[in-house]
Amino acid sequence: MISPVSMMFYIVSLLLAPILPGIINKVKAFFAGKKGPPVLQLYFDVFKLLRKSATYSQTSTAVTRLAPFVIFFSTLAAGLLVPVFLRSAICSFSGDVILMAYLLGIGRFFMVIAALDRGSAFEGMGASREVLYSALAEPAFFCGLLVLVNETGSLSVSDIFSGLSFDLWRQNPAIMLLIAVSWMIVLLTENARIPVDDPNTHLELTMIHEVMILDYSSKDLALIEYASAYKLWLFSSLLSGLIINAGDLPAMAHVPAFILGMLFVTVVIGVVESTIARLRLIHVPKFIVGSGALAIIALILKIAGN
Amino acid sequence: MQHYLMAIVVIVVGGLTAWFTGRLRPLSAAAGMVSCVVGAVMAFVPVVQTLIYGIDAGLYQLNLPLGLATLRLDHVSAFFSLPVLILGAISAVYAAAINYHDRNESGSYWFFYNLLFATMLLLVVSANAAVFLMAWEIMSVAAFFLIIHRDEIASARMAGWRFLVASHIGTAALFLLFAMLSAGSGSFEFASFTAAKIPSGSASVIFFLALFGFGVKVGMLALHVWLPDSYTYADAHVSALLSGAMSKMGFYGLVRVMMFLADYQSAWGWALLTAGLLTGVYALIMALAQQDMKKVIAYSSMENAGIILMGLGCGVLAGVWKQPVLAFAAFAGAFLHIFNHSVCKGLLFLGSGAIYYGVGTRKLELMGGLARKMPFTAVTFGIGAAAIAGLPPFNNFYSEFMIFLAGLQAAKAGSAAALLLSGTILAGLGLIGGLAMACFARTFGLFFLGASRNEKRNAPEEVNTFVKIPLGILVFIIFASSLAAPWLLYPVGKVVAAIGAPAGLVFSAADVLVVAGPVRSIMGFSLCLILLAVSGWLLKCRFFSAGDVYGRCTWDCGFAAPDARIQYTSSSFSQPVVEVFSSVARPFRHGEPVSGLFPQKASFRTETQDSLLRYLHFPLFGLINRGMVPLRKLQHGRLHLYICYIAIVLLVLLLWKVVAA
Strands B59-64 and B588-590: unpaired
Among residues A278, A209, A224, A146, the alpha carbon closest in space to that of B413 is found at A146
User: Are B445 and A116 an interchain contact pair (Cβ–Cβ within 8 Å)?
Assistant: yes
Residue A191 lies in domain: 4-305
State which residue of chain B sits closest to A116, comparing Cα positions: B445
pLDDT of residue B149: 87
| pLDDT on residue B596 | 81
E strands, A45-151, where? Answer: 55-57
Q: Return the axis-axis angle of helices B416-448 and B395-413, rounded to nearest 10°.
A: 160
State which residue of chain A sits closest to B449, comparing Cα positions: A117
What does the DSSP assignment read for B510-529? HHHHHHHHHHHHHHHHHHHH
Nearest CA in chain B to A128: B573
pLDDT band at A100 (very low <50, low <70, confident <90, very high): very high
Q: With 0-12 CB in 10 A as exposed, 13-18 as middle and 19+ as buried, what is B124?
A: buried
Most B-contacting residue of A125, A128, A210, A282 (CB-CB within 10 A), to test interface: A128
Confidence of residue B561 (pLDDT cuts 50, 70, 90): low
| Residue-level pLDDT at B27 | 86
The helix (H) or strand (E) run that includes residue B72 is strand B67-72
pLDDT at residue B590 greater than cutoff 60: yes
CA distance B472 to B465: 10
How many domains does chain A fold into? 1
Is the bond preceding A195 in cis, omega lying within 30 degrees of 0?
yes
What sign for the dihedral angle of Cα B626, B629, B631, B632? positive
Residues of A in contact with B532 (CB under 8 A): 69, 73, 77
**Residue B588 DSSP class:** E
The per-residue pLDDT for range A128-139, each reduced to its tens digit, is: 999 999 999 999
Whether B244 has a pLDDT exceeding 70, the answer reads yes
- Interface probe for A, chosen from B379, B426, B584 (most Cβ of A below 10 Å), is B426
Q: Which residues contact B66 (CB under 8 A, 6 or more apart)?
A: none
Q: In terms of pLDDT, which residue wins out, B415 or B333? A: B333
> What radius of gyration do chain A's Cα atoms show?
19
Q: Is B98 helix (H, G, I), strand (E, B) or coil?
A: helix
Q: Which residue of B has its CA nearest to A103?
A: B392
CB B339 within 8 A of CB B80: no
d(CA B346, CA B470): 10
Q: Residue B163: count other Cβ atoms within 10 Å of its Cβ.
A: 26
Please state the rounded mean pLDDT for residues B604-616.
86
pLDDT for residue B393: 85
Q: What is the mean pLDDT of residues A159-163?
A: 89
Largest CA distance in chain A: 60
Q: Widest CA span of chain B, in angstroms?
A: 98
Give the closest-approach CA distance of B177 to chain A in angstroms: 37
Q: Is residue A266 classed exposed, middle or buried when 0-12, 13-18 and 19+ CB atoms within 10 A define those classes?
A: buried
User: Comparing A26-40, B143-157, B334-348, B574-588, which segment has the lowest mean pLDDT?
Assistant: B574-588
Return the number of CB contacts < 8 Å for A and B: 267
Confidence band for B198, pLDDT divided at 50, 70 and 90: confident
What secondary structure letter does DSSP report for B461? P
The per-residue pLDDT for B14 is 94
> CA separation (Å) from B586 to A8, A133, B293?
54, 20, 19
For B408, which of A91, A95, A214 is closest by C-beta distance?
A95
Q: Which amino acid is at B385?
A: A
B445, B541, B552 ranked by CB distance to A55: nearest: B552
Q: Rounded to the nearest 10 degrees, how much is the dihedral formed by the CA atoms of A213, A215, A220, A225?
A: 30
Nearest by CB to residue B529, choosing from A57, A77, A143, is A77
- Tens digits of residue pLDDT in B497-517: 988 888 888 888 888 888 888
Query: How far away is chain B from the Cα of A254, in angstroms, using its nearest Cα?
Result: 27
Contacts of B641 (CB under 8 A, 6+ apart): none
> How many angstroms from the chain centroid is the CA of residue B6?
27
pLDDT in tens, B372-384: 889 999 999 999 9
Give the CA radius of gyration of chain B.
Answer: 26
- Cα separation, B434 vs B288, whole angstroms: 12
SS (H, E, C) A39-65: CCHHHHHHHHHHHCCCEEECCCCHHHH
Nearest CA to CA, how far is A63 from chain B (Å)?
Answer: 9
Asked whether B470 and B348 are in contact (CB, 8 A), the reply is: no
Mean pLDDT of chain B: 89
The stretch A238-243 carries a mean pLDDT of 92
| Neighbouring C-alpha atoms within 13 Å toward the C-beta of B502 | 21
- Look at residues A11, A183, A247, A212 and name the one whose alpha carbon lies nearest to residue B568: A212
Reported as a single tens digit per residue, the pLDDT across A75-98 is 999 999 999 888 888 888 998 999
pTM, entire model? 0.94
For testing contact with chain B, the best of A100, A150, A156 (most B CBs within 10 A): A150
Residues of A in contact with B438 (CB under 8 A): 131-132, 135
Helix (H, G, I), strand (E, B) or coil at B415: coil
- Asked whether the beta carbons of residue B446 and residue A142 sit closer than 8 angstroms, the reply is no
CA pair distance B315, B308, nearest whole angstrom: 11
How many whole angstroms separate alpha carbon B81 and alpha carbon B104?
32
Of the partner residues B446, B451, B514, the one whose CB lies closest to the CB of residue A59: B451
Report the chain A residue with the minimal C-alpha distance to residue B416: A303
State whether B547 and A53 contact (CB < 8 Å): yes
Please name which of A190, A200, A288, A234 lies closest in space to residue A24, comparing C-alpha atoms. A200
Helices of type H across B501-638:
509-543, 570-580, 611-612, 618-628
For residue B628, the distance in angstroms to the closest alpha carbon of chain A comes to 46
